[in-house]
Structure 1
Amino acid sequence: MPRLEIADDGFRLDDRPFRILSGGLHYFRVHPGQWADRLRKARLLGLNTVETYVPWNLHAPRPGAFRLDGGLDLPRFLDLADAEGLHVLLRPGPYICAEWEGGGLPAWLLADDDIVLRSRDPRFLDAVDEHFAALLPPLKPYLATEGGPVIAVQLENEYGAHGDDPRYLADLARLLRAHGVDVPLFTCDQPGDLARGGLDGVLRTVNLGSRVAAGLDALRRAQPAGPLMCSEFWIGWFDRWGGVHTTRDVADAAADLDRLLAAGASVNLYMFHGGTNFGFTNGANDKGTYRPTVTSYDYDALLDEAGDPTPKYEAFRGVIARHAPVPDEPVPAPAPKLTPVVVALDSCGALLDQSALHGPAVRAERPLSMERLGQTFGFVRYETALPEPGPALLRFGEVRDRAQVFVDGRPAGVLERENHEHALTLHVPRSGARLTVLVENQGRVNYGPGIHDRKGLLGRTTANGTELTDWTSSPLPLDTLDGLVLAPAAPLVGPAFHRGTVDLPRPADAHLALDGWTKGHAWINGFPLGRYWSRGPQTTLYVPAPVLLPGRNEITVLELHASTTRTVELRGRPDLGPTED
């Protein structure tokens, strides 16, 4: 495959002028059985390139561990892109933002209390070196210099919004080169951060969603010669729990794309296809108030969460056709959808009774953070004894992120980081009553200084001013449901699992509706669909067709509170919530 060259007057490929027409498509947000479909639709749009981040925290779930299989089989994704005739822009971080848990940085880094992420801290750089040593050699055959589809690799990600140490960027560039990356490198930053986020000798690119002329002018001032490129042209946005479903006007987005292309710029559409934050992988933002991101990463993209072309797809295809060749093939039709079916969940089991799902209880004077327990996702169960009966004012140092409090197994209250809650009053029925606190990680902060986001109960916990000590901390990662014990029973008040089965004649894309349920998580055939929450905006969870089976399918719901129903529904249409007027 031809090699990309960076010339004063633009990109060149095989010694010919070349414009990158790319679309964001994160393999880790799409079921691997659907990668080929999404890549084909990228080519049919008129794109010649796709872009993907690489989530360090999924590929290296523990220190010294590395995965490159199943839904993380990046070489297979690159093979499929190559087969479709698409180039690839690879963005390996180590930090990726992406509204992804912790910005892709593994939680185990935070087990060191004073580590400084995204810096020259030797502990951080040594971990990056080890990660690149595992990730990059298997990708060497996929670099354009080896005949593969990867034409360029991004250095860090919007670093100018975080810091201004070019030595750190130089260290990362050295590590990329040392581990075999010999294609061009590039950085990306918003217009006001281009000077801080760049590195001499590395191509600068700009990220923007509007004000195209001003953004390109800022890029040209920071980089007087070389290609003009927008590495993230934001055509939509992400949603947060308790907000609305964000959309962008089709005509407005298409007009700005036309302006970019008319200026001769290369572009990466963010996102071409957003996909889904399956399981516990959503990120969060914290600009004074913690705001977790929802499960759907639909992003109002060109392909919706189920991979179907939207009106924006057709509008953008028309714009691209004015500037570059577009395949003479029709726009793909929507994929088949499941006929609606109601499913009864008639087996139950209390979460706190599921000993097979708990990790070993660790005893310490104070509650231990998730990171100290070697845990990334899920919940931690904390327990201690309350000293004396009567009314008690319970105060926690910090709740990260949502705590359900129980006394002798009875619910006593909920504390939410999002609402800056640290204390509650409760009644202690007897001396030595058991205090249980179930804390949910709702997503580590993925942007800004808050990325040092440790989870669990942090600091001192007091009852009526006296510190509570002698705690046990038990991990509940819920990375598998193996060993879950349920039985037919009357519905339980949460936290509790509910399970039912449904027979389907054939698999098809679907959306799981949880009307009447409050907050929790859902799985189908053991596949983690993600979080649901009645506060919205989204009220359905996307179910990829490859997750379903012809015949019997098993649906499991972890409800943290209570429901008004014992049924869920598989539907053909999503509900991502109301939009702003």
Structure 2
Amino acid sequence: MPQHPSGRDFRIGTEDFLLDGRPHRILSGTLHYFRIHPGRWRDRIRAARHLGLNTVETYVPWNRHSPRRGEFVVDEGLDLGAFLDVVAEEGMHAIVRPGAYICAEWDNGGLPVWLTRSGARLRIDDPGYLEPVQEYLERVYEIVVPRQIDRGGPVLLVQIENEYGAYETGTGPEDAAARRRYLHRLVDITRGAGITVPLTTVDQPTDEMLTAGTLPDLHTTGSFGGRAADRLQTLRRHQPDGPLMCSEFWVGWFDHWGAHHHTTTPAESAHELDVLLDHGASVNIYMLHGGTNFGFSSGANDKGVYQPTITSYDYDAPLDEAGAPTAKFHALREVIGRYVDLPAGELPGSVPGPVLTAPVTAATPFLELLDSPGVEGLHPLDDLERADGSPVALAVFRTLSPGSATPTLFSVGEIRDRAVVLLDGVRVGVLQRDQHSVAVVLPAHPAGARLDVVVEDMGRVNYGPRLGEAKGLVGPVRLGGEELLGWRSVGIDDGTLPGRELTRDEPVELAGPVLARAVLDVAEPVDLFLDTANWGKGVMWINGFCLGRYWRRGPQRTLYVPGAAVRAGRNEVVVLEFDGTTDPMVRTLPGLDLGHTES
């Protein structure tokens, strides 16, 4: 763990942040270590420095670090300490935002499923919530404490909670008191664990949110992307002393499946940044580089319509999903250069990836891969989990039908979030939450026909009252108006799918759900961009590394493959296709295709 020869003094002054007694402006950019392959951390941090920044900020995703209570995983891409060490080695400072709730368009807002299913009141003064939060924060702070700036490390600031003023816990005086107790408890945990650097909160600069989201002894910062002068004025009204800071300066936005790719103009973002800096404010660019929701990590929103977040977290950021500088990067750099000296030279632009093609060489219908007895009961289980207690994103629910002499309606109370319905192995329809689709018609069939429902969790809601909801088949499952009883519920360990042996060779078409394999021959490890246009809906892996979901409805048309996950020579691509394709080929494109925009 590299450290400065001696600790440095960093504190909050009456007008400025003070570093060793001198005014210090924080110029920061967000890099989520968990959304970037660790083999690319240093590249992204160096790009931040080249932009003229002096600090890197990150959230910490509790649910990834602790999929089971009592453990704290820090291997591979979750090594927060290693990430902070690279930040220090590159001469940068760091801001850590551990939550515990982080939102971040991340599955369940970063809260572990074992916690949200416990029945504890979330984000409030409830022992059922605060006790595991303390366990988690103390593990995070074991990593952060020795890396604080006053101990020779890079960490300048630690955030308490996250946009807490927007969280609705009730409006009565008892609720307000419970909120204050909760924030005070988080401060006590943080200070008790050895955090000595200044503590901050962040909220959108409205009177209500700024009042509800902080405490007098915490430094309040803002989150916004426009009207910077007005927002800073509101922030100053609530906090007469101390440095102004926008700790989430939104320069883009995230995307949902079935919608468009969000963009903002470079000129827009550059103008608002110039206003911020001209007012003497410190800033954290959200996002400097969005990265990718690898695996099954993306979240969702639900304000009457369920909207799952896509795999790409490009965010129209200054560095695109593959880490290449964009026009926005250069526009922001020009602005920053008016206020600080910039590093010399230029970052290399995007490098075209190789255009490759490989046929699917083997496949097996997904239902033939079930090798677990599952759980038997009268009703299908919701929120299935592995034997070790961690949640699964894929499940199969199986029963035997009593039969019907005529076409009959099969229905569920609610589907979370998408299900393929099969009768004796033949696909008959799809149930889809975002379309409020809860029924399909089954053809006439004899008693004893096998009914399978393959359910995919498309991402747990990360914001609002539906945080922590159950997944699967919810409510009564009926056939012809009569409830179906006697189910086998099987959770699928997605981590084992890339290694499954497949039995059918060189298919000419694929009818989903099906698991398929192809081999890409690559001359050297470089970034790849898998073309998903010929596929329906599913998940892809390369060399066992889960790249995430794809879906024909878009907007994104590529899956980003970091070169650190690619090998020279043979690269095995595994595809779980839920719908089907008449063109079972794996192809790559020379670059990202993030889909259509509003313009």
User: What is the TM-score normalised by the length of structure 2?
Assistant: 0.94
Conserved 8 A contact 1:399-1:458:
yes
Q: Give the equivalent residue in structure 2 for 1:382.
A: 397
Corresponding residue for residue 520 of structure 2:
502
Q: Deviations over 1:110-146 (max 9, x none)?
A: 332x332222222111111111232221332111222
Is 1:259 aligned with 2:259? no
Aligned to 1:194: 210
Indicate whether 1:364 and 2:380 are aligned: no
Tell me the equivalent position of 1:419. 435
SS of residue matched to 2:596: coil
Moved more, 181-190 or 382-391: 382-391
Deviations 1:335-384, CA, capped at 9 Å, x for gaps: 5443211111121111111135xx55011221111256634342111112
User: What is the rounded CA distance, in whole Å, between the counterparts of 1:135 and 1:316 in structure 2?
Assistant: 32
Match status 1:166 vs 2:180: yes
Matches within 5 A, 1:322-341: 322-327=338-343, 329-334=344-349, 336-341=351-356
Tell me the amino acid that sits aligned with residue 412 of structure 2.
F
* Structure 1 moving runs of 4+ over 4 Å: none
Q: AA paired with 2:321?
A: E
Q: Which of 236, 240, 251 pairs up with 2:256?
A: 240
Residues 513-566 of structure 1, C-alpha deviations (whole Å, 9 max, x = no match):
022210001111111111110001101000101111111111111110111202
CA contact (8 A) 2:498 2:541 kept: no
Is residue 245 of structure 2 the alignment partner of residue 229 of structure 1?
yes
How many aligned positions are there?
A: 577
Task: For 1:116, give the aligned amino acid.
Answer: R
Shift in Å, 1:220: 1.1
Instruction: Name structure 1 gaps, 5 residues minimum.
Output: none
Partner of 1:311: 327
Deviations 1:404-444 (A, max 9, x none): 11122111211111011222222351112222111100001
1:512 aligns with 2:530: yes
Alpha-carbon separation, structure 1, partners of 2:290 and 2:497: 27
SS at match of 2:496: coil
Identity across the alignment (%): 49
Q: Aligned partners of 1:354, 1:137: CA distance in 2, in Å?
A: 42
Structure 2 residue identity aligned to 1:517: W
Whether the 8 Å CA contact 1:185–1:203 is kept in 2: the answer is yes
1:57 aligned onto 2:90: no
Deviation at 1:221, TM superposition (A): 1.5
Q: Name which of 276, 295, 300 aligns with 1:279.
A: 295
| Structure 2 CA distance for partners of 1:375 and 1:396, relative to 1, 3 Å | farther
List gaps (5 residues or longer) in structure 2. 1-6, 169-175
Contact 1:399 1:415 in 2 (8 A): yes
Contact 1:366 1:459 (8 Å CA) reproduced: no
Tell me the equivalent position of 2:596: 578
Offset from partner CA, 1:187-235 (integer Å, 9 cap, x none): 0011121111112210110000101111111111211211100010000
Query: Is 2:459 aligned against 1:443?
Result: yes
For 1:519 and 1:510, how far apart are their aligned partners in 2?
20
For residue 129 of structure 1, the aligned residue among 134, 150, 160 is 134
Which of 201, 220, 229 aligns to 1:213? It is: 229
Supply the distance in 2 between the matched residues of 1:306 and 1:264 (Cα, whole angstroms): 32
Q: 1:375 to 1:465 in 2, by over 3 A?
A: farther
1:555 aligns with 2:560: no
1:185 is matched with: 199
The one-letter code sitting in structure 2 at the alignment partner of 1:387 is: P
Does 2:544 correspond to 1:529? Answer: no
Cα distance in 1 for residues equivalent to 2:102 and 2:384? 20
CA RMSD, Structure 1 to Structure 2 (Å):
1.5
User: How many angstroms apart in 2 are the aligned matches of 1:313 and 1:241?
Assistant: 26
2:92 is aligned with 1:86: yes
Shift of 1:178: 2.1
- Are 1:314 and 1:331, in contact at CA under 8 Å, matched by a contact in 2? no
Structure-1 separation of matches of 2:495 and 2:517: 17
* In structure 2, C-alpha distance between the alignment counterparts of 1:502 and 1:424, rounded to whole Å: 38
SS at match of 1:28: helix
SS in 2 for 1:479: helix
CA contact under 8 A between 2:257 and 2:555: conserved in structure 1? yes
- 3-state DSSP of counterpart to 1:297: coil
Amino acid at match of 2:211: A
Q: Which moved more, 1:372-381 or 1:533-542?
A: 372-381
When the two structures are superposed, what TM-score results if normalisation uses the length of structure 1?
A: 0.97
The answer as to 2:189 corresponding to 1:175 is: yes
